[in-house]
């Protein structure tokens, strides 16, 4: 069986729609879902927040927004520098050679356990289920940590930064919310990983019932076939 390199993002796509996942991995760029216009602002914010956390790391302190987490400390600078870059981040390799990799924004150590932490920037206030979208991503990080011999808990942290106010001096004030997320078990993550790899060996995986992208593609193909029949 051919081996594959997967990430939390591609596994999330598999959970959304096996067919879109299959096209994304097997067929490549020309067959992937259409991409929406994106802003570079979140990337800039991500870089600034990393530096912000690193400044507190050098002082052996926690940033104020997570100072309430008892007995916690940030992982050392050398470790987080590796884990933030996907090529040197955490990897899991299965018996067939397929791999899962992940790049962590941040990681805490709480009483000897390693707790993934991810920061998110949003343009609007959090909804009740805003954090749930990232549960699987954080579960993958826990799985990768545990697979590499680190002790983990059954939770992770998300830190949301939402712009609240712009002063006359051009300084943006943020509403910051820390959400503790209960993660899936490592066994569950591994099971999904195996299902995803097996899906890639199929010749035509079924689409998800509610996948709007597959419905759009099917309608487009049908329309083209109808146009050909007219000539």
Asked if residue 227 has pLDDT above 60, the reply is no
Q: What is the pLDDT of residue 106?
A: 97
Q: What is the pLDDT of residue 230?
A: 54
Which pLDDT tens digit goes with each residue over 185-221?
Answer: 999 999 999 999 999 999 889 999 999 999 888 887 6
Confidence tier at 169 by pLDDT (50, 70, 90): confident
Asked if residue 222 has pLDDT above 70, the reply is no
CATH code given to domain 5-229: 3.90.320
Q: What is the pLDDT of residue 224?
A: 52
Average confidence score pLDDT of the chain: 91
Asked if residue 24 has pLDDT above 60, the reply is yes
Confidence tier at 33 by pLDDT (50, 70, 90): confident
Q: Are the CB atoms for 95 and 2 separated by under 8 Å?
A: no
Lowest average pLDDT, out of 6-20, 64-78, 133-147, 215-229, goes to: 215-229
What is the domain partition of the chain in residue ranges?
5-229
Show the beta-strand stretches assigned E in the chain: 5-6, 72-74, 90-93, 99-102, 106-110, 113-121, 155-166, 172-182
149: left (phi over 0), alpha (psi -120 to 50) or beta: left
User: Which tops the pLDDT comparison, 165 or 138?
Assistant: 138
User: Which tops the pLDDT comparison, 149 or 224?
Assistant: 149
State mean pLDDT over 55-66. Answer: 97
Q: What is the pTM of this model?
A: 0.91
Confidence tier at 168 by pLDDT (50, 70, 90): confident
Asked if residue 35 has pLDDT above 80, the reply is no
Confidence tier at 225 by pLDDT (50, 70, 90): low
Q: How far apart are CA 159 and CA 118, in angstroms?
A: 6
CA dist 149 to 98, 111, 144, 207, Å?
19, 16, 9, 36
Q: What is the pLDDT of residue 228?
A: 59
165: left (phi over 0), alpha (psi -120 to 50) or beta: beta
Q: What is the pLDDT of residue 42?
A: 79
State mean pLDDT over 157-171. Answer: 88
For 191, other C-beta atoms within 10 Å of its C-beta total 12
């Amino acid at each position: 069986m051919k081996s594959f390199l997967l990430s939390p993002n591609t596994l999330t796509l598999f959970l959304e729609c096996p067919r879109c996942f299959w096209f994304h991995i097997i067929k490549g760029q020309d067959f992937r879902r259409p991409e929406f216009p994106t802003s570079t602002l979140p990337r800039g914010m991500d870089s600034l927040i990393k530096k912000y956390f690193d400044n507190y790391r050098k002082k052996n302190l926690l940033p104020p927004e997570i100072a309430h987490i008892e007995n916690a400390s940030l992982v050392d600078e050398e470790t987080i520098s590796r884990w933030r870059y996907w090529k040197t981040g955490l990897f899991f390799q299965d018996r067939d050679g397929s791999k899962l990799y992940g790049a962590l924004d941040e990681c805490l150590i709480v009483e000897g356990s390693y707790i993934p932490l991810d920061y998110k920037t949003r343009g609007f206030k959090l909804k009740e289920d805003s954090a749930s979208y990232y549960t699987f991503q954080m579960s993958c990080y826990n799985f990768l940590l545990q697979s590499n011999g680190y002790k983990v808990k059954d939770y992770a942290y998300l830190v949301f930064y939402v712009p609240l106010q712009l002063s006359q001096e051009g300084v943006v004030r943020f509403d910051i919310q820390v959400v503790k997320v209960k993660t899936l078990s490592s066994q569950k993550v591994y099971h999904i990983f195996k299902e995803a790899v097996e899906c890639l060996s199929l010749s035509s995986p079924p689409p998800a019932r509610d996948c709007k992208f597959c419905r759009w593609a099917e309608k487009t193909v049908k329309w083209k076939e109808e146009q050909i029949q007219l000539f």
